[in-house]
C-alpha cells in the first residue's frame, strides 16, 4: 500500500504515525514545502522571543517514512491517482492525504513587499526576523489575533518598542467578547505594548535600501518601524485541488472518517472543513490539537482501521503576562439569534466568566483569571448534552465534574 501525505505539519505527522502503527510494511511518502523536518509550529513564537533553542521544536518521523522537503503539490488527478509537484515529479498513490495546512492572509497596503515585513507561520520566517532584530528598535504588529499577540509579546521580550495595530476594537476579537477584550487590552498596555484600534496600514515606506522604515495609517498618522509582522489570520491551502474532483468550500470538505468526495483521498488539519460542535455547522478550526486529532483519524482510516472524528471545537488557553485566559466554542454569537448569555466577574480584580447557551446546550465559554475547571466546561460543550444543572452554577469556578456528569459521582 502506497500512502502519500501532502504536508509535513502535525496533521500529516500524526497520520504517518497512525499508518505506521497499523501497517508496518506500508510505503509512506510525505511532501513538505519547508526545508525543516516536522516541528512544533505553536512554539515558533518562543523561538522568536529567545526562550527556546531551535532543536527543542523538532518532532521525530516514524520509521521508514520518506520525506521530500522543499516540494509541494500543484495538481491532483484523483482518477489516475497521481500528484504532480512544483518540481515536475509525478507521484502515484493508493491512498492520499491532503494536509497542506493554511497560508497567512495578505494585506492590501502599498509596498507590503518591503524587506523586514514578515508573516509568522514558519521557522524560516522566525529565523529571518531574529537576524534583523539587532538592527531594529521599533516593531509594528498588524492584527490582534493569536499570531499578532505572540509576535508582539516576543518582540517585547527582545527589548523592542512594540505597537499592535488592530482593525477591530479590541485584541483577540475572533476569540473573545468585548468585556474580555477590554481586560486583555488593559493588560497589554499595562505591560508596555502600544495598542491602536479601529485603524489599519494604508502604505509602507522604505529607508532607501528596500527595508521598511515607517507605516502610514488609514487615519493619516505615521508610525516609525524597522520590522513588521502581518498576523491577519489564515486561509486553507487548497488552491491546487481545483479540477481534481475533490470538493472544496472554504476548506476541503470531509466526513467523519476524514474522507473527501474523491475515492481514497483524505484531508486533515487546517486545510480541512468539518463539523463544528458548538456552531452546529461546517467550519474550519485551524488549531493544533484539532489538526493532530484529524490527522490521526485520517491515518487510521487510510490504513483500513475504522475510526470516527466527531467534530471540531475552537479553544485556546493562553497566559497574557499574569492574566490567564481560556476560551472555547462560540463566545461571540451573532446578535438576535436566540442565544442566551450569562456573565459574572469583577473588573477591578481582572476576573470574568462568560457563558453562551443555545437552547438547552452550553456552546461557548470565556474565563479570565477564573480558569479552574474550564476543562469541565469544554467537555460539556463537546458532549452536546443538555446542561444538567442550574445554568448559574456553571459560573462558579469551583464547579466539580460530578456536578455536571453523573458518572463522575
Write the DSSP string, 239-296.
GGGTTTT--BSSSEE--TT-B-SSTTEEE-GGGEEEEETTTTEEE----HHHHHHHHH
- Angstrom distance (rounded) from CA 336 to CA 340: 10
DSSP letter at 43 equals G
Task: Determine the Cα angle at 67 with ends 66 and 69, to 5°.
Answer: 155
Q: Give the Cβ contact number of residue 162 at 10 Å.
A: 25
pLDDT band at 409 (very low <50, low <70, confident <90, very high): very low
Q: How far is CA 182 from the centre of its chain?
A: 22
Q: Mean pLDDT across the stretch 160-186?
A: 94
> What domains, with CATH codes, occur in the chain?
2-103+234-302 (3.50.50.60), 117-230 (3.50.50.60), 333-408 (3.30.390)
Task: Give the confidence band of 342 by pLDDT, cuts at 50, 70, 90.
Answer: very high
β partners of residue 2 = 27
Output DSSP code: residue 403.
G
pLDDT confidence of residue 333: 92
**Average of per-residue pLDDT across 263-270:** 98
Task: Write phi, then psi, for 154 (nearest 5 degrees).
Answer: -65, -40
User: Which DSSP string corresponds to 127-171?
Assistant: HHHHHHGGG-SEEEEE--SHHHHHHHHHHHHTT-EEEEEESSSST
pLDDT of amino acid 403: 65
**pLDDT(408) > 70:** no
Neighbours of 86 (CB within 10 A): 14
Amino acid at each position: 500500500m502506497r500512502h502519500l501525505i501532502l504536508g509535513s505539519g502535525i496533521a500529516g505527522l500524526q497520520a504517518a504515525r497512525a499508518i505506521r502503527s497499523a501497517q508496518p510494511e506500508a510505503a509512506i511518502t510525505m511532501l513538505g514545502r519547508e526545508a525543516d523536518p516536522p516541528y512544533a509550529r505553536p512554539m515558533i513564537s518562543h523561538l522568536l522571543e529567545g526562550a527556546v533553542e531551535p532543536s527543542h521544536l523538532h518532532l521525530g518521523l516514524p520509521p521508514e517514512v520518506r520525506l521530500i522537503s522543499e516540494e509541494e503539490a500543484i495538481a491532483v488527478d484523483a482518477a489516475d491517482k497521481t500528484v504532480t509537484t512544483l518540481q515536475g515529479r509525478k507521484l502515484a498513490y493508493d491512498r492520499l492525504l491532503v494536509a497542506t495546512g493554511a497560508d497567512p492572509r495578505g494585506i492590501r497596503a502599498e509596498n507590503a513587499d518591503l524587506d523586514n515585513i514578515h508573516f509568522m507561520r514558519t521557522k524560516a520566517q522566525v529565523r529571518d526576523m531574529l537576524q534583523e532584530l539587532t538592527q531594529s528598535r521599533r516593531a509594528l504588529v498588524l492584527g490582534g489575533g493569536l499570531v499578532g499577540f505572540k509576535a508582539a509579546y516576543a518582540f517585547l521580550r527582545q527589548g523592542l518598542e512594540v505597537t499592535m495595530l488592530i482593525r477591530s476594537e479590541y485584541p483577540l476579537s475572533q476569540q473573545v467578547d468585548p468585556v474580555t477584550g477590554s481586560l486583555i487590552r488593559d493588560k497589554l498596555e499595562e505591560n508596555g505594548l502600544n495598542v491602536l484600534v479601529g485603524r489599519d496600514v494604508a502604505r509602507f515606506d522604505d529607508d532607501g535600501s528596500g527595508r521598511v522604515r515607517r507605516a502610514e495609517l488609514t487615519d493619516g498618522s505615521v508610525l516609525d518601524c524597522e520590522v513588521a509582522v502581518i498576523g491577519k489570520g489564515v486561509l486553507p491551502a487548497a488552491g491546487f485541488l481545483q479540477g481534481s474532483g475533490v470538493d472544496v468550500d472554504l476548506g476541503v470538505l470531509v466526513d467523519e472518517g476524514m474522507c473527501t468526495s474523491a475515492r481514497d483521498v483524505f484531508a486533515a488539519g487546517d486545510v480541512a472543513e468539518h463539523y463544528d460542535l458548538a456552531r452546529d455547522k461546517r467550519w474550519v478550526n485551524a488549531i493544533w490539537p484539532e489538526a493532530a486529532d484529524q490527522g490521526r483519524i485520517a491515518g487510521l482510516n487510510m490504513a483500513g482501521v475504522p475510526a470516527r472524528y466527531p467534530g471540531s471545537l475552537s479553544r485556546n488557553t493562553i497566559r497574557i503576562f499574569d492574566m490567564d485566559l481560556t476560551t472555547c466554542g462560540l463566545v461571540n454569537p451573532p446578535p438576535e439569534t436566540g442565544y442566551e448569555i450569562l456573565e459574572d466577574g469583577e473588573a477591578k480584580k481582572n476576573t470574568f466568566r462568560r457563558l453562551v447557551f443555545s437552547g438547552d446546550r452550553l456552546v461557548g465559554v470565556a474565563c479570565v483569571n477564573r480558569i479552574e475547571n474550564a476543562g469541565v466546561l469544554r467537555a460539556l460543550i463537546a458532549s452536546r448534552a443538555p446542561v444538567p444543572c442550574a445554568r448559574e452554577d456553571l459560573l462558579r469556578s469551583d464547579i466539580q465534574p460530578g456536578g455536571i456528569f453523573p458518572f463522575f459521582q
